[in-house]
Amino acid sequence: MQELIDSLDRSSDVDYLLDTCFLLHMVEEEQTHHLIDFCKSNKVGISSFNLAEVEKVHHRLDGTVNHHLRDFLRQKLVSCVPVEVKPGDWAMERNYVRGFDEKMLKLIPDASDAVLLVLALKIKANVLTRDKHHIFTTQAENHLRYYGIEVLNGLPSLEEKDKIKK
């Protein structure tokens, strides 16, 4: 898995960031073909932080799911968006978030979830997530909307994409 992750192009020029839970949801629900189509027509990235999470959990996935995940990454339709934080280093996660926006940890108490949102704000990318506890909440959405960032829990339709870009 690490070889596949390392083979991804590095870029911060993306319009959408995938959260770990969103990627795994799409693969587990056999919706990878929709994600592939979306990635072919959009600039999509996954943070190095989220890819490290994928690396940590992929061996626990069902064999078929793991196979589909590897197939998806092998297509290189997403970029790795570098971030200087690694999962599990809670002090570094908190410092990274606080260094950008002190209010963020009040809105999203789990610093590992807040890392993705801070990165999204820094690079002005919308977020695709399934995390209804911390990221896909009204408070987080309102805060991010102030910066012109959308938090979505599904792939946007063409109409939604036009609305998001305006």
pLDDT > 70? residue 133: no
Three-state DSSP class for residue 145: helix
Q: Is residue 30 part of a domain?
A: yes
| Token duo for residue 124 | 């002005």
CATH number at residue 120: 3.40.50.1010
Instruction: Look up the pTM and report it.
Output: 0.88
pLDDT tens per residue across span 14-35? 999 999 999 999 998 888 999 9
Q: Is residue 166 part of a domain?
A: no
Instruction: Give the model's confidence band at 160: pLDDT under 50 very low, under 70 low, under 90 confident, else very high.
Output: low
End-to-end CA distance of the chain: 37
Instruction: Give the model's confidence band at 55: pLDDT under 50 very low, under 70 low, under 90 confident, else very high.
Output: very high
Q: Is residue 133 part of a domain?
A: yes
The percentage of the chain sitting over the pLDDT mark of 70, rounded to a whole number, equals 91
What's the pLDDT at 157?
Answer: 75
Q: Is residue 128 part of a domain?
A: yes
pLDDT > 80? residue 159: no
Instruction: Assign residue 30 a region (left: φ > 0; alpha: ψ between -120 and 50; beta: otherwise).
Output: left
Q: What share of the chain is helix, strand, coil (3-state, %, to 5)?
A: 55, 10, 35
Range of the domain at 42: 2-160
What's the pLDDT at 136?
Answer: 61
When divided into structural domains, the chain yields a total of: 1
Amino acid letter for position 31: Q
pLDDT > 50? residue 66: yes
Q: Is residue 156 part of a domain?
A: yes
Q: Is residue 32 part of a domain?
A: yes
- Could you tell me which residues come within 8 angstroms of residue 73 by beta carbon, excluding any fewer than 6 positions away? 1, 4, 5, 8
Q: Is residue 108 part of a domain?
A: yes
Q: Is residue 165 part of a domain?
A: no
Instruction: Give the model's confidence band at 121: pLDDT under 50 very low, under 70 low, under 90 confident, else very high.
Output: very high
